[in-house]
Amino acid sequence: MPEPKRLIEPEDLYHYSWISDPSIHPVTSSVAYVYKEIDQDKNDYKTHIRVVTIDGQEDASLTDGSKDFAPSWSPDGLKLGFLRINENGKQLWLANVSEGTAAQLTSAKHGVAAFVWSPDGSAIAYTSRISEEEAQGKLTKEEIVKQESRRGRSYERTIPKAEGSGWWDGRYSQLFRVEVTSGEVTQLTSGRFNVSQPVWTEDGSRLAFLSKKIDDPKLDPDLIAYQDLFTVSAAGGELCRITDASLSISQFSYSPDGSTIALIAEDRKYGSGIQSSIYTVPSSGGAPVAWQETDIQVGNYILNDMRTAAVMPGPSFAADGTSVFALGTYQGQAQLYRFKVGAAPEAVSLGERDIYQFTETGDARYFIVLSMDAYGSGELYRLDRLSGEELRLTSWNKAAMEELDISMPEAFWFDSTDGDRIQGWMMRPPALPQGGKAPLVLVIHGGPHAMYAPTYSHELQTLASAGYAVLYVNPRGSFGYGQRFAQSCRGDFGGGDYRNLMDAVDAALERFDFIDPERLGVMGGSYGGLMTNWIISQNNRFQAAVSQRCISNWLSFYGTSDIGISYTEGIVGGNPWEQQGLLLEKSPLIYASQVKAPVLIMHGEQDFRCPVGQADEWYTALKRLGKQTKLIRYPGSNHGFLKNGKPSYRVESLHEVNAWLGKHLAATAQTGGGPDEA
């Protein structure tokens, strides 16, 4: 008989593996990729690079560092470029495959962000941050640190901070070229703009890149959403603008003959609620032409705590240059699609899955995709372009998953009172006996322009294993259901989005007989934390709440968040000096006296997206009013700490959530045994 499966616990996080960034060898088609795991002793993640053969039969380590990532084969396949973080910062290294050695190539003062091989393999272009003063070579790294420690930081930018990087240090990301043999470095761009995603032209004479380079001094770059495509000579010199400042471009690629460039971009007509589309522009420059609009959101916008941070792949031209392959987010799935002018997008991949990276073999025979499903974290798969056959290349999490009693999400649709057609999923507690009743927890995703999917989530599985029926849905504002649906929450916060979520609870209670209607909880992070605060301040149907990385006060959020201006004006529809009443009306803080549910508040102290002051204000108001509440602040943690922060914080947070819900909803299964259950 098979071994009995066990319930999932927060500590199972320590046993998962994550992989990312596949790079295909130009000759053998073997796949280099990043393998990531947790070093529990150091309370950190460690990564190295492995190589698996195209048939999946052999898989071996290639590098021996603990912070190696971003592999990229040289055009001849003799070397592998990669980034390594050590005492020298984040630098570009080259591994000599035949000799089994690796050596550091760059010594950039502020590290290397991204790199790309030249077509002949003689040089590598990379981006690195630098100030104009440093560009003149006047200061060593040590002198820079010493100087900066002795003076205050001054700012004149409208938005001098950013989530993940903190307060701006006066440096811009510029483009450099390094010779592989000599190590000689040439700076190719300079100025008050940032360079990202460099790509060589096929003949190696020029480099293309994305930048928000604003030439009109009367315009404020921080208030402009558009980003253009530029090229520069491989020797440096004047920049050539390819696009016409009409789009916010996120990714691009050249056609096989080099005459056309495909873009994944949006025109920002509906601000953050605009769905991305495929555009093309002549490589000589001009106005980009939009392909047909589709309900599919181009790119992957699924939120999940089991995906490692991975670079979203750009569009990839088919060999004939008439169609483009790209990822697409649609109705709870992320698939690889073929886009073609005048035709509906065609799904290349099949099944319920979340594909978040892909690349193609040189002979165009196979796609290599990183995909995850309801059974575990992402793995590498080979998709045969001709037969459609699929081969799994890696199985790092298979053995661990076979031990676990996984709650499989059950999909359902319902019609909201506003007429929206809403997709959701229900997870039944694995330990719930037949005929038993479980407390329900409504989990709300962030964004709001993102999407939930029925793929494996450690957070949601630990909730289900702790005895909760878990409900999650994609309310209005979510991507993957068409443009009207995506934009419909803008200027209507607390309106249709709120009603969709309340309708979801009603639909679940009607459909699933194992839910106890007297024991309801609600939780979410970011926009989900904001909506959690709003819900419990507007009705009393929930007996417990968990608010993570939240917003509580639109007035203070406007000036303290790195996206406070655009997000407040877009989601609520106003600013503090012209629509103060509206911002107050839509702030949960104003309704704190109406809250009845006990509230657990969790926040990272270095969060620049939803600053920790939002949690402090919410906690202070609730505490002053005598409400049941608890605040947990996580030092050194940013907005994404629950998905990629310190492993111990992630495990502890799951215990704390289960303990809080267990206390106030009296879950019948395990409650997690957190550090503070009282």
Q: Known catalytic residue: 458?
A: no
Strands 469-474 and 421-427: antiparallel
For residue 485, what are the CA distances in angstroms to 420, 453, 478, 500? 8, 17, 7, 12
CA distance 366 to 353: 18
CB atoms closer than 10 angstroms to residue 574: 18
Instruction: Judge whether residue 669 has pLDDT over 80.
Output: no
Residue 624 has a pLDDT of 98
H-assigned helices in 539-676: 554-560, 564-567, 580-585, 613-624, 641-644, 647-665
Average pLDDT over residues 48-67: 97
- Cβ-based neighbours of 128, under 8 Å, separated by 6 or more: 106, 108, 109, 110, 111, 112, 113, 173, 174, 176
Residue 397 has a pLDDT of 95
DSSP one-letter string for 426-461: EE--TTPPTT--EEEEEEE-SSSS-B--SS--HHHH
CA distance 273 to 566: 12
CB atoms closer than 10 angstroms to residue 385: 16
Phi, psi values for residue 238, rounded to 5°: -70, 145
DSSP one-letter string for 231-286: EEETT----EE-S-S--EEEEEEE-TTSSEEEEEEE--TTGGGPPPEEEEEETT--
Per DSSP, 360 falls in state: E
- In sequence order, the β-bridge partners of residue 602 are 548, 632
Tell me which H or E stretch contains 666.
Answer: none
Of 639, 653, 655, 664, the active-site residue reads 639
Residue 1 has a pLDDT of 60
> In the structure, what pLDDT confidence band is assigned to residue 534 with cuts at 50, 70 and 90?
very high
What is the identity of the amino acid at 193? F
Q: Are 34 and 19 in contact (CB under 8 A)?
A: yes
Q: Are 15 and 42 in contact (CB under 8 A)?
A: no
DSSP one-letter string for 139-183: --HHHHHHHHTTS-----SS--EETTTEE--S-EEEEEEEETTT-
Instruction: Judge whether residue 100 has pLDDT over 50.
Output: yes
Residue 135 has a pLDDT of 59
Residue 667 has a pLDDT of 53
Instruction: Judge whether residue 346 has pLDDT over 90.
Output: yes
Q: Give the model confidence (pLDDT) of 184-227 as tens digits.
A: 999 999 999 999 999 999 999 999 999 999 999 999 999 999 99
- Within 13 Å, how many C-alpha atoms sit on residue 9's CB side? 11
CA distance 475 to 481: 10
Q: What are the tokens at 355?
A: 């594909």
User: In this prediction, what percent of the chain has a pLDDT beyond 90?
Assistant: 91
Average pLDDT over residues 152-165: 94
Q: What are the tokens at 655?
A: 């215990």
Give the 3-state secondary structure of residue 381: strand
Average pLDDT over residues 449-458: 97
Q: What are the tokens at 667?
A: 């879950």
Interhelix angle 527-538/496-511, nearest 10 degrees: 80
Average pLDDT over residues 105-133: 95
Interhelix angle 647-665/458-465, nearest 10 degrees: 30
> In the structure, what pLDDT confidence band is assigned to residue 136 with cuts at 50, 70 and 90?
low
Instruction: Judge whether residue 150 has pLDDT over 90.
Output: no
**Residue 67 C-alpha from the chain's centroid:** 20
Q: Are 327 and 355 in contact (CB under 8 A)?
A: yes
CA distance 119 to 82: 17
Q: What are the tokens at 558?
A: 């406007």
Q: Give the model confidence (pLDDT) of 627-667 as tens digits.
A: 999 999 999 999 999 999 999 999 999 999 999 999 999 85
Q: What are the tokens at 485?
A: 């649906």
Phi, psi values for residue 65, rounded to 5°: -80, 170
- In sequence order, the β-bridge partners of residue 172 are 130
Q: Give the model confidence (pLDDT) of 570-625 as tens digits.
A: 999 999 999 999 999 999 999 999 999 999 999 999 999 999 999 999 999 999 99
Instruction: Judge whether residue 541 has pLDDT over 70.
Output: yes
Q: Are 353 and 376 in contact (CB under 8 A)?
A: no
Comparing 16-25, 34-43, 340-349, the range with the smallest average pLDDT is 340-349
- In sequence order, the β-bridge partners of residue 83 are 69, 92
User: In this prediction, what percent of the chain has a pLDDT beyond 70?
Assistant: 97
The per-type count for the chain, helices as H runs and strands as E runs, is 13, 39
CA distance 540 to 561: 30
Give the 3-state secondary structure of residue 619: helix
- Within 13 Å, how many C-alpha atoms sit on residue 328's CB side? 27
Q: Are 194 and 171 in contact (CB under 8 A)?
A: no
Q: Which strands make up the sheet holding 515-525, listed edge to edge?
A: 410-415, 421-427, 469-474, 438-444, 515-525, 544-548, 599-604, 629-634
Average pLDDT over residues 216-241: 96
In total, the chain counts a number of residues equal to 678
Q: Known catalytic residue: 165?
A: no
Instruction: Judge whether residue 174 has pLDDT over 60.
Output: yes
Average pLDDT over residues 38-58: 97
CA distance 539 to 493: 16
Comparing 3-17, 133-147, 623-637, the range with the smallest average pLDDT is 133-147
